Amino acid sequence: MVASPLPNPGMPIRRLLRYLLFPLACCAAGLAVILGLQGLQAAWVTLVLLLLEVSLSFDNAVVNARVLERLTPGQQRFFLTWGLVIPVFGVRFVGPLLLVALAGGVGLGDALDAALHHPDRYRELLELAEPRILAFGGMFLLMVFLRYFFDEAKTLHWFRPLERRLSDAGRIEAVEVALALVLLLVLAGLLPAGLRAEVMVAGVLGLVLQLLSTSLAEAFGGEGEAVGRLAAGGGLASLIYLELLDASFSLDGTIGAFAITQNLVLIMAGLGLGALFIRSLTLMLTRERALDQLIFLEHGAHYAIGALGLLMLAGILLGRWHWHVPEWLSGLIGVVLLVLALGDSLRQAGHRGGDTG
C-alpha cells in the first residue's frame, strides 16, 4: 500500500478552496457594504482589521480542528455556525462593554453610550481594563501551550531536543501549573501595588478555566465510557473549551483594534469577517483530516499560542511605560511558526510516501 503525502490522494485543489468560497464572498460583500455606506477609508480600515484577525487566529484554527475531530457532526455544525455568535458578539462587543463598565465604575448603559457616541472615552475605559484582559487571556493561552508539551505520553516531537525534555518533565504532577503560577507571581511582583491583586485574580481565573474546561472534556471523552450521557457531556465540555479558546485569542485582537480605529461598527465588521474566515479554515482542516498528514502543524500552532500568551503577559508590564506590543508582531510570529511547521510536515509526508512507494 502506497502512502500519500497529502491528506486525500488525487484531491483537486478546488475541492479545498470550496471551503473558502463562502467566507471570501461574505468578506467581499461586507467590504462592499462598508464602502457604499462609509467610504473608501472605512473599507480599508475594515480590511486591515480582517487581516489582523486572520493572522492572529490562524493557529487557533489548527487547534480547534483537532478538538472538533472528537465531536459529532451535529456538535461540529453548532460550533461552526451558532458558535460564531459567541466570539463575535460576546467577546468583541458585550465582553469589552462589561469590562469597561467594571473598570470604569460605570453602568452597562453608560459604557454602551460611550462605545457608540464617545469613542475616546470608551478607549480610555478599555485601557483601564486592559491589564485584566491581558492577564486572563495570556494565562489561558500559556496553559494551552504548557499542557500540550508537558505531556509524558507525547511521542511525536518537532524540535526533538526541547520537546523530549518537556515531555519527560511532564512526569512531574502539575509541573505546568506550577510553572505558570510562578511566572504570574513574578509578573505581579513587578507591577505597582494597586494593580497586583487584579492581575493575579484575572490570571488565576484564566488558568483555572483552562484546566477545568480541558479536564472535563478529557474526563467525559474517554473511549471506554464515551456513550450516552457521558459522550454528550464530553461534547459540551469540548464546545465550552473551544469557545474559551476563541475568546482568549479574540481579546488581544479586540484591544489592538482600537489602536487602528475607535469605530465600534468597523471593529465588529472587520474582526467578525475575519472570524468567519477562520471558521471555514477550521472546517476544511477537520473534514479533510489534514492534521493526520501535516503532523507538525499542531506543534507550530501551539508554539504560536505560547508566544501570543507570553506577549499578552509582557504587554501588562510594558503598559507601565505606555508601550504596546504591536498586533502585527503577534501575527507575524504565528505565521512564521506555522509556515515552518507546514514545510517540515510536507517534507516528512514526502519521505514517508517515498519509503513506502
3-state secondary structure of 7: coil
CA-to-CA distance for 137 and 191, rounded, in angstroms? 18
Chunked into runs of 10 residues, the chain (357 residues) has average pLDDT values of 40 66 88 90 86 74 77 74 67 70 76 79 78 86 88 84 88 90 94 89 88 68 39 58 69 65 78 82 79 80 86 86 75 83 81 55
CA-to-CA distance for 109 and 122, rounded, in angstroms? 12
3-state SS string over 226-265?
A: CCHHHHHHHHHHHHHHHHHHHHHHHHHHHHHHHHHCCCHH
**Tell me, what's the pLDDT at 78?**
75
- The one-character DSSP state at 93 is I
What phi, psi does 70 have (nearest 5°)? -85, -5
**Tell me, what's the pLDDT at 226?**
38
CA-to-CA distance for 26 and 277, rounded, in angstroms? 9
Residue 257, C-alpha cell as written in the block? 483594534
Residue 42's CB is within 10 A of a number of other CB atoms, namely: 20
**Tell me, what's the pLDDT at 88?**
65
**Tell me, what's the pLDDT at 6?**
43
**Tell me, what's the pLDDT at 203?**
92
